[in-house]
Every structure is written in C-alpha cells, then in structure tokens.
Chains A and B, each alone.
Chain A
Amino acid sequence: MVLTRKTKESLKTALAMTIAYGIALHMDWDKPYWAGFAVAMVSLATIGQSMNKAALRMLGTFLAILVAFVLIALFAQQRWLFILFLSVWLGFCTYMMGGAKNQYVWHVSGFVCTIVAIDAGPDAVNAFTIATLRAQETALGILVYSLVSIFLWPTSSGAQLGVAVAKLASTQHRLFALYLDLLHGKTDAGEAQPHRADEVAARSRFDLLLAAAVTDDAEVGELRRQWRRYQRLATELSETLERWRECFGEVQALDLRGLLPDFAACGAELDTRLAQVERMLTDQAPERRPVAVELRLDRSRLGSLSHFQKAALTVARTHLERLESLTRDLYDCVSGIKGFEQVAIPAATRRAPAATFVLDRDRAAGVVRQMVTVWLAWLALIYIDGLPSGTAIVMMTAPIGMALATMPQVRVAQLFVPATVGVLVGAVPYIFVMPQLSSFVGLGLLIFGVTFALCYLFAAPQQMLGRALGLALFITIAGIDNDQTYSFLSVANTALMFALLFLLLSMTAHIPVSSRPEKAFVRLIGRFFRSCEYLTANMGRDSQQPESRLDVRRRAFHRHEISTLPGKLAAWGKFIDPKALPGTSPEQIQALVAALQALARCMQELLGQRDRPQAQVLVEALSADIRAWRLEVKEGLRQLSQEPAAGLREAFRSRLAEIMDHLEKRIMETLDKTPTGQFGERDGENFYRLLGAYRSVSEALVDCAGNAGAIDWTRWQEERFA
C-alpha cells in the first residue's frame, strides 16, 4: 500500500506525540503536556524546516526562562511591578517579532516567559523546578520529533529546493521575455501581472526552502555561500526587472533599435543566459557560455531627442546594463553550484554599517495592543472573583495576543470556529473515552488517533492555524498526567476562558487604532503620502548646511515609511471585503497598491540620484524650475494625504507637464550657453539619470492620483460595526 505524503506526515507527528507523552509519563514529570506542545509546534513538512523551528523554539525557551528568573527574583512580592516588567518584556518581544529575522524566537521568548513567570510567580520556591521542567520537556518533544522525522520517511528539503529554484528561474525568464514584448508593444501590461505574482510566490518559497535545506541537505549546506549569493542575485534581478518595466512608458515611443544598435542582440543574449540558467538548474549542461554584449549609444541620433527623452533613454540603458551584469553573475553562480564550471567565489562583501534605528509605527501599535490585553487580563484575574481558569487567561493572552498583534489583519472572529472545534476535539475524548482507560496502551492509542486525525484533516499549509489550535486545545483540555483527574468543570472553564479571551482580544483590536481593513488602508495611505511629502520638501534643503541629528532621524523614518508601507498596504488590501464596500473592486485596490509601489521605488531612485555629483552650471540654472516642480508635487502629495480622492488626474498631469516643458526649455537654453568642455560625459549621464528620476516620480504620482480617484473613499471612511 502506498501512503500519501499527508498520511506519512500525520503518522510521524502522531507517533512522536505518543512517544513524547510516554517518556514524560514514565519519568513521572509534572505537566507532560509541555512535551506534547513542543511536538505539535515543531512538526513541519521537512526535516530542515522542523530542525530550524526546533532550534528557534529552544533558544526562545532559554531566553524566556532567564528573563522569568530575573522577574521572579526581583519582583516576587510586588505584583504590580511584576506585571509591569512582564508586560514590558512581552511588548519588547512583540515588537521584535514583527521584524524580518527570528520572529519565532521572540514569540517563544514572550509567551514562555509569561507561562513560567505566572506559573512560578506565586510559588517562587519551585520556580527553578518549573523552569527546568519547561526546558527539559520542550527539549524532549524536539528530540523525539527530530528522531522520528530522521528515521521514519525522512523528507529532506534538498529535492524540494531543486524544484523551487527551477520554478523561480523559469518565472524570472518568462517575466523578462514578457517585459521585452511589452517594450516592443507586442503585449499589454495586464498580461504580466499574474506572472509577477508567480515570481514573488516562487521567490518566497525558494527562500523558505533554502533556509531549511542548508540545515538538512549536506550538499546544499556545503555550497550555502553560493546558494545565498544566488538568492541575492535573484532578488536583485527581480527588483531591477521592475524598475526597468516602470520606465517603459517613456521609452516605448523611441526608436530603440536605432538609438541602441545592440539592443536586439542584448535582449536576445539576456534571454539566452536566463534560458541557460534554467537549463543548468534542471541538471542539464549549458549549451553555451554568456557572450559579452555592450549597449553602445548612437550619439548621432541623440540630437533629435528632447532632454526628457534622453533622460528616459539613459535610465532604461542603465537598468539594461545592470540586467546584463546580473544575468552574467547568475550564470556563473549557477554554473558553480551545479559543478559545470569551477568559478571563483567572490569574497564576501563587507557588512554595511548598522543603519539608524527607525521606529516602525505599526509594530509599536501592536506592542500597545498586546500590553493593554495583558493588563486587562491581569486586572480581571485580580479583581474578578472566581475567574474561569484563573491564571491561564493571562498565560494564553501571550501567545494568541502576540500572534494577533503582529498580524492585525486577522480578525478575532476567525479564531472562533477552530477554537470551538478544538474544544470539542479535546472534550469528547476527555469526558467519554479517557475515564475508561487504565493503561498507557489505551492512552497512547487515543493520543495517536486524535493527533493523527487532526494532522490529517488540517494538513494544508493554510490550515496551520486550525491544526495548531486543535492540537493545543486537545492537549490543554485532556491535561494528561500521572495523577489524572476528570472534571466537567475544567472543560467548561477552559471553554469559557477562551470565550473571555476572545472578547478581550476583540475589545483591544481597536487599541490604539482600528484594525478594520479599510480604515487601516486609509490611515496607511495617508501616512505614505505624508512621508513622500516630507521627503519632497526635504529635497529643497541646502546640501551645504549640516543636518541636525533630529533631521537625519526624521529623514530615515520617512524613508523607512515609504519603503515599508506599500507592502503593508498590499497585505491590508487583501482583507478588504468588497461586499461591504460596493463600488470598489479588488482589481482597483491592486492597481492602487501597484501604483503606490511604483511611486515608492521612484522616490527611492530620485533620492539616490540626488546624492550623485551634478554639474554646478545646471544646478544653478535649473534651481527655480526644480523648486516649482517640487512645490507642485508637494502640494499634490499634501492633498492626497488629506483626501485620497482629491487626485484630479488630468489637472495634475497638465500642471506637471507645464512645469516639465518649461524645464526642458531652460535646459536647452542653459546647455546652449555652456562652453564646450564644461559639461562632461559623466556629468551628462548623472544629469539625465536625475532628470529621468524626476520624470518618473511625476508619472508615478499622476498614476497614483488616478487610481486613488477611482475609489469611493466616502464608503471607506464611514463607521461600521464589522
């Protein structure tokens, strides 16, 4: 009989859970369900993924225990100071959990610290025993699951990584070919949209599997530096492709084949390189090596172009040159990984100096929400006599509250169904089956059966939440121990405790700001435009004047805002209910988010280009026109930040076009007057890049205004219950 993967994974988790319980009960350890929790949480699709998560869980547990000891040692007799510092630690962990790295370590550090501190706080004499018990049972669960997954149908991430990387290379190749067609007018922009989404999904799957394969696949582990280089190059390729696409609007009208005589050859060469990369990743030898291509510019034809056209051409050429260098590096990197050629690995680049700390407002809002939730639970525990499940409500506030604080898009109501199913799954065996059992054989079969059923029924990745809640509630309600007791009251209290917890979380979902998707979207879009407005206004600052520390921090903050907000808006946009907001379609929201992402990239590009040296003669001559442009853009951004529907696309476009025309004339006059030799080739390139960046910001802003104007914001701003 051939077992499916889903069956095998479910059997592995069920077996590990049963063995972990068996050992903990045999050793007569108190709270053996902690070992069960560890198995339930670290069981993932491959050995590498499980090992990585297990290592993070263990690290988080040690950190949590250390902090819990400090809290108990310092504040065992002062309950207000105790909860104050515990909530501060939880807040810190919640903030860190929202970052890009080690989210699980911080999650575990937060909730395990709460569990140990609340469990051991009133019983400080046994604090050490409780903490060591938590650590040893977590370690037991991890060890048992690791051994089971290694010996029973081991699934390494290496094979899956091979498939994922081939898919990534193929989507990037297809995207490049599509963009080339788009540039030649052979296809329209809408056709590329699903491929872009595919590419993003393929890249995130590759990232996930690479982290796991480095741990569980010896070959990948040995070549990890090269694989990580491939990861960096693929990410950069994706970003460069997007920047390249965004400048198509301005270069499509130009005779590219005439202006760049090698353009067709270059396009074909890049396409071939990406095809060879794809080929090598499916373990086939490359058919040919990359051929050097140079994108020469036909200067004799440049004279017929306006300065803005020259700027657009310079920007497009720069991106194409970057693509050329990236595809060459990708070819070499993949060739080295697959062993087709011995390629020298470039020395590791020196780490960039640590960036200025920038407070992320949304993560800080999550911290406030989590701290308020913990305080409310604590106050309820102290002031409400006979609160169901007592201290457990404070303990459960930490893991669930932290998860919701970092994923504010998830509504508390979405947890009702999995929690109810979990309570039933736990209650039925606890009330009807467990009292009939008299040995571990029966109990083991019960644990095995329930775990298998839950893992099998909730096997899909999108059902992870249901699986985790189901297993957690079964483990909690069954409360398996050597001194087993049975009481309907404990089931009723646990169910009631979850109801109270969800009520608490629903109340704090609006603290400090509403977590209704459309409200959050409007708030974030306002912040995005305000940050763009600040940065535009800041461009007028005299570069000779030294910046104060406060100014540097403010600029870093607004740059952080414009780089992170489009991603957050995309995440919130998916949760907006079109049925509740008639007149707005998901496509309109997607188009607006794409326009905001483009504006963010253009703003970053402009800020980067402004740091390059520019010819003084042009800077002086054009300062008045650049100022007029800046003021107009700033005013547009201000209006959009106050009222997104204020974007009068055509009026705005014509005003900006007027300024740009004037700028064009001024450039011509200035260049005519400039003596030969004063304006070098490098100056010209830098100047046209900067001009191209100004133009791109104008275009992206007009696009944003148009997309924002298409949405019925009045309905979005209305108050609603749900």
Chain B
Amino acid sequence: MKSMPHEFAIGGVYFPPLLIAGIFAVIAALLTARLLDRVRLSKHFFYPPLVLLSLMIVYTVFIGTFIIKT
C-alpha cells in the first residue's frame, strides 16, 4: 500500500513535509557546493548559481521521495 504524506508535529505545531524536505535540501545543496568549491570542481560549471538551484530541487525531490516520503 502506498504510504500517505504525513505532517511533522514539532511542539504541537504541524509542518508540511515538503517544507522539511526543502530545509534539508537547502542544507545538503550548500554542503555540496562548499565541497565542490574546496576541490575546485565548481570551475567546470558554466553558471554555479543555477547549479545550486538545481541541486536544491534535486535534493528536495530525492529527500521528499525516498526519506521523508511526502
């Protein structure tokens, strides 16, 4: 049976799962960007700000689908 999206209750306040996935995605994307900067791999990208945005979306979908299951 397909699992239902469920909200997160923090201190009695309900948070939508997409928001939580989004927050983790932003953190993961920033960490990835920092890592790529450190090993000088970011020089191969044409436009890093767009890559960062794409990473955020990819991570949101990934975390939302496989970890939080929105």
Q: Could you list which residues of chain A lie within 8 angstroms of chain B, going by C-beta atoms?
A: 488, 492, 506-507, 509-510, 580, 718-722
4 closest pairs, A vs B, by CB? Answer: A721-B33, A718-B43, A510-B49, A721-B48
- How would you classify the secondary structure of chain B's contact residues: helix, strand, loop or mixed? helix
Q: Is the CB of B33 within 8 A of A719?
A: no
Q: Is the CB of A719 within 8 A of B53?
A: no
Q: Is the CB of A720 within 8 A of B42?
A: yes
Q: Is the CB of B53 within 8 A of A721?
A: no
Q: Is the CB of B13 within 8 A of A719?
A: no
Within 8 A of A (CB), among B12-70: 13, 33-34, 36-37, 40, 42-49, 51-53
Q: Is the CB of A722 within 8 A of B37?
A: yes
Q: Is the CB of B45 within 8 A of A722?
A: no
Q: Could you list which residues of chain B lie within 8 angstroms of chain A, going by C-beta atoms?
A: 13, 33-34, 36-37, 40, 42-49, 51-53
Interchain residue pairs with CB less than 8 A apart (11): A488-B13, A492-B13, A506-B49, A510-B47, A718-B40, A719-B42, A719-B46, A719-B47, A719-B48, A720-B48, A722-B37
A499 CB, min distance to chain B CBs, angstroms: 9
Q: Is the CB of A721 within 8 A of B43?
A: no
Q: Is the CB of B53 within 8 A of A722?
A: no
Q: Is the CB of B36 within 8 A of A721?
A: yes
Give the chain A neighbours of B44 by CB distance below 8 A: 719
| From A488, A719, A722, contact of B34 by CB (8 A) | A722
Report the bound CA distance from A453 to B43 in whole Å: 45
Give the chain A neighbours of B51 by CB distance below 8 A: 721
Give the chain A neighbours of B47 by CB distance below 8 A: 510, 719
Give the chain B neighbours of A720 by CB distance below 8 A: 37, 42-43, 48
Give the chain B neighbours of A488 by CB distance below 8 A: 13
Q: Which of A506, A719, A721, A722 has the most CB of B within 10 A?
A: A721
A64 CB, min distance to chain B CBs, angstroms: 32
A191 CB, min distance to chain B CBs, angstroms: 38
Give the chain B neighbours of A507 by CB distance below 8 A: 49, 53
Report the bound CA distance from A492 to B13 in whole Å: 10
A718 CB, min distance to chain B CBs, angstroms: 4
Q: Is the CB of B34 within 8 A of A721?
A: yes
Q: Is the CB of B13 within 8 A of A721?
A: no
Give the chain A neighbours of B45 by CB distance below 8 A: 719
Report the bound CA distance from A720 to B44 in whole Å: 9
Instruction: Contacts A719-B42, A719-B45, A721-B37 known; list 20 others, CB within 8 Å.
Output: A488-B13, A492-B13, A506-B49, A507-B53, A509-B49, A510-B49, A580-B37, A718-B40, A718-B42, A719-B46, A720-B37, A720-B42, A720-B43, A720-B48, A721-B33, A721-B36, A721-B49, A721-B52, A722-B33, A722-B34
A717 CB, min distance to chain B CBs, angstroms: 9
Give the chain B neighbours of A719 by CB distance below 8 A: 42-48
